[in-house]
Copies of this chain bind each other. A is one copy, B any other.
Amino acid sequence: MATAADPDASGDGADEPDPDSPEGRGGAAFVLPAGPPDTGRTPLDRRRILGAAIRFIDTHGLSALTMRRLGASLGVEAMALYRYVPGRDQLLDGVVETVIDELYGDPDVHLEAAHGWQDYLQRLAHGVRRIALAHPEVFPLVATRPPAAPWVRPPLRSLRWVESFLTAMTSCGFSEDSAVAAYRAYSSFLLGHLLLEVSQKGVPINAQDAGESPAPTADLSEYPTVVRLQELLSMDESAEEFEEALENLLGRLEHVRREGRSPAEPESFT
C-alpha cells in the first residue's frame, strides 16, 4: 500500500550509492526502510524533523547526518528544513534536548523524591543510562555540545533537570551547598560511566574487522601485562560497575548530607 505516494523511494531522487565514498561505512546508500506510514502529507514540523534526525543518527551514525540526507529521509529537499531549524548546529542542539526530554516522560523517573532522595537518584541514573544505551550514537553529542550555561552540566542538560534535582535534594535535608555539590558529583559520575559504556559498544570487541588483524598483534608483545590480563580486560562488566559506583556515590552523599561537608574524606567516623 501507499507505494505511489513517496516519489523517491525507488525511482528518481535516489542517492547514487557511489560505493567508493570514504564516508559511508557500509557503502550502502541511505535508503530508509519504508519509514513511518505517514511519509507524505503532514506539512513538516520541528518535532518531526528532530525525531527523524534522532532516528537517522541511531541508524546511520552521526557522521552520516547531512541536511540533504535528513531532508531525503523526510521526503523533502534539504532547503525545506531551514524553515523550521536555523541550521545544522542548532539541529544538533535540538536533538540533544529532545533525547534528554525523552527521559522526562519516563514514568519510572518522574515521581520526584516521593520515596527519598536515594530512590530518586537511583531512578534518575537508571533512566539516563537507558536513554544513553538506546541512543549510543547520540550520547557523545549529549556529552560534548557546549552547554547553555556553565552550571548546566551534561548529561542532565536542561534547566528542568537542574531544578528537579536541586529541589529534590534540598527537600530531603541537603543544605544548599550540599545539594549543589551533589549535583556536581552526580553529573561527573553519570558522564564518565555512560560515555565509556556507550563508546565501548561502538567497538566490535575485536578491534578492526578488516583483513587478518595485522598491526595490533605485532606490537602487542611489548605490553606483557596487557596481554596477560587481556581476558579480564575484555569482559564487559559495565552494568555491575555502574551499580557499584552509583551505590558508592549515594553513600558518599549521605555522608555529606549528615556532616554538611563536601564529598571527600573516605574515613572520618571519629
Q: Are B226 and A159 in contact (CB under 8 A)?
A: yes
**A24 adjacent to chain B (CB < 8 Å):** no
| Chain B residue with the shortest CB-CB distance to A187 | B196
> For chain A, which range describes its interface: under 10, 10 to 19, 20 to 34, or 35 or more residues?
35 or more
Q: Are B199 and A146 in contact (CB under 8 A)?
A: yes
For chain A residues 184-239, which have a beta carbon within 8 Å of chain B? 184-185, 187-193, 195-196, 199-200, 202-203, 205, 207, 216, 219-220, 222-226, 228-230, 232-234, 236-237
Subset of 6 A-B contacts with CB under 8 Å: A22-B87, A153-B196, A163-B225, A188-B193, A195-B195, A247-B265
Contact A151 to B262, CB < 8 A, known contacts A159-B219, A192-B188: no
Contact A180 to B245, CB < 8 A, known contacts A196-B153, A225-B170: no
| Chain B residue with the shortest CB-CB distance to A140 | B144
For chain A residues 155-175, which have a beta carbon within 8 Å of chain B? 159-160, 162-163, 166-167, 170
Q: Are B266 and A180 in contact (CB under 8 A)?
A: no
Q: Are B232 and A176 in contact (CB under 8 A)?
A: yes
- Chain B residues, Cβ within 8 Å of A265: 247-248
**A263 adjacent to chain B (CB < 8 Å):** yes
Extra pairs beyond A163-B223, A189-B192, A248-B263 (12, CB < 8 Å):
A144-B144, A148-B207, A151-B230, A153-B196, A153-B200, A154-B199, A188-B189, A191-B191, A244-B262, A248-B265, A255-B266, A267-B269
- Chain B residues, Cβ within 8 Å of A200: 147, 150, 153
Contact A248 to B244, CB < 8 A, known contacts A179-B229, A234-B151: no
How many Å lie between the Cα of A196 and that of B266 in the bound state? Answer: 23
Q: Are B244 and A159 in contact (CB under 8 A)?
A: no
**A143 adjacent to chain B (CB < 8 Å):** yes
Residue in B188, B228, B241, B263 whose CB lies within 8 Å of A196: B188
Binding site for B on A (CB under 8 A): 22, 87, 89, 140, 143-144, 146-151, 153-154, 159-160, 162-163, 166-167, 170, 176-177, 179-181, 183-185, 187-193, 195-196, 199-200, 202-203, 205, 207, 216, 219-220, 222-226, 228-230, 232-234, 236-237, 240-241, 243-245, 247-248, 250-252, 254-255, 262-267, 269
| Chain B residue with the shortest CB-CB distance to A158 | B223
